[in-house]
Structure 1
Amino acid sequence: MMSYAIVGFGKIGQALAHAFARNNINVTVASRRPPEELAPQARAIGPTVTAKSLQEALEADTIILAVLFEQHREVAKALPSWKGKTIIDTTNALVPSEDLEGLLSSAFVAKSFPGAKLVKGFNHLGAATLATDPIVEGGHRVVFLSSDDEDAIAPVADLAKQLGFAPVKLGKLNEGGALVHARDRIWGPLIFQDLFKKKQ
């Protein structure tokens, strides 16, 4: 069984925790705050959501990075190696492109997590939208996924389906993935597009 953790318990982290709770999937949540501070909120979201310390949360196979882009390095320092881990990067970098050394923000984030497989996903919807049930009459809310590691997308797509979303694979970060990256305070063309895929 895959284990999941959400690092960051702001609006996006909580919205995703709701998706796990709705589908009775266990998930650990952690942030810079101690777990006892997060626990009441986690319990209120649902019985499958458990607050733990950052170190405990990082024992999960798949880690959803739901912190501000500026905080990703802080999270990355928590483990010496990220081998065997999948990171789902939900961040949007509203920083000048020179700060990213000419890279797309997810490729820049990936450099901080040596050994991990990184998938960009769940970043193009606002928290309020992400928190609502993605299954509506006749369809499922779309989430876009992109990664430079083709094998990494499939298990994340499976997770998205389990959470009720319709995953749409955009290929590599600098190909289709570029459509969901914010650059220089300009939003990618697919950010905030609330799309649904009809049931086949």
Structure 2
Amino acid sequence: MQIGTLGSGTVAQAIAHHAVAHGHQVVLSNSRGPASLAGLADELGPLAHAGTPEEAAAADLVLLAVGWPQIPDATAGLPPFDGRIVIDATNQFASPPPHTKIADLGGLTGSEYVASLLPGARVVKAFNTLYGQYIAADPRHQAGRQVLFLAGDDADAKTTVKDFTAAFGFAPVDLGSLREGGRLMQLGGPLSALHALKQD
């Protein structure tokens, strides 16, 4: 598959490294433009290249991994998704580090809000409960595989993300819909920042 990243920080880089190691093409993008990503693309090798957000959003599978306040700008003006999958790895921190403020979305979960900004996308929440170093590391350990929680409203999209991440060595666990599963995973939920291993 071709993987596009909206954002190029710790989480996007970690997933991009896994993706190219497993033969996927990666299109990296950020708000600063392709030139700012040339070094990272070179580091990742010939399967990766820097592009615009529009190019990244046209990939088969798109990763949204930007700071919460940047989401409206990062998602504005993108081409129609036409059923393509977006992995939402964001957390609703409304303030920069040390992240003392959480955005109030009323009755919506974070991913329901994200989905509202991406008409036509099949949104799957994943990776947001793990610290970046756990995403970047080999998810296979002597004691088991790193559990990866995910949620979404489209069963086929979730299966694609499960297969994609299981190939990296993660142990994906489907928590249900963006509303119910998303509540468990988002900031303040019982699974936020929970790092668990699954014994095989």
**What's the TM-score, normalizing by structure 1?**
0.88
For structure 1, the 5+ residue unaligned runs are none
* Corresponding residue for residue 169 of structure 1: 174
8 Å CA contact 1:8–1:31 kept in 2: the answer is yes
Q: CA deviation at 1:49?
A: 2.5
2:121 is the alignment partner of 1:116: yes
More displaced stretch, 42-51 vs 157-166: 42-51
Task: Give the paired residue count.
Answer: 194
Superposition pairs of residues 148-163 of structure 1, within 5 angstroms:
148-163=153-168
Change (3 A) 1:97 1:135: closer
| 3-state SS of 1:100 partner | coil
Shift, 1:174, TM fit: 2.1
Query: What percentage of aligned pairs have identical amino acids?
Result: 39
Q: Which amino acid aligns with 1:198?
A: Q
What does the per-residue CA deviation read over 1:89-145, in whole Å, with 9 as the maximum and x for residues that have no partner? 000002477742421111011100011111100111111111111112252211111
C-alpha separation in 2, matches of 1:163 and 1:71 = 28
Which of 133, 137, 147 in structure 2 is aligned with 1:132?
A: 137
Query: What is the TM-score when the length of structure 2 is the normalising length?
Result: 0.88
C-alpha distance in 1, partners of 2:129/2:44?
Answer: 23
Say whether the 8 Å CA contact 2:4–2:27 is kept in structure 1. yes
Within 5 A, what are the aligned runs for 1:1-200? 2-95=1-94, 99-182=104-187, 187-199=188-200
Residue aligned with 2:178, SS: coil
Q: Any conservation in 2 of the 1:61–1:84 contact (CA below 8 Å)?
A: no
* 1:81/1:59 CA distance change after superposition, 3 Å: closer
Segments of 5+ residues of structure 2 without an aligned counterpart are 95-100
Q: Say what the alpha-carbon RMSD is for the aligned residues.
A: 1.9
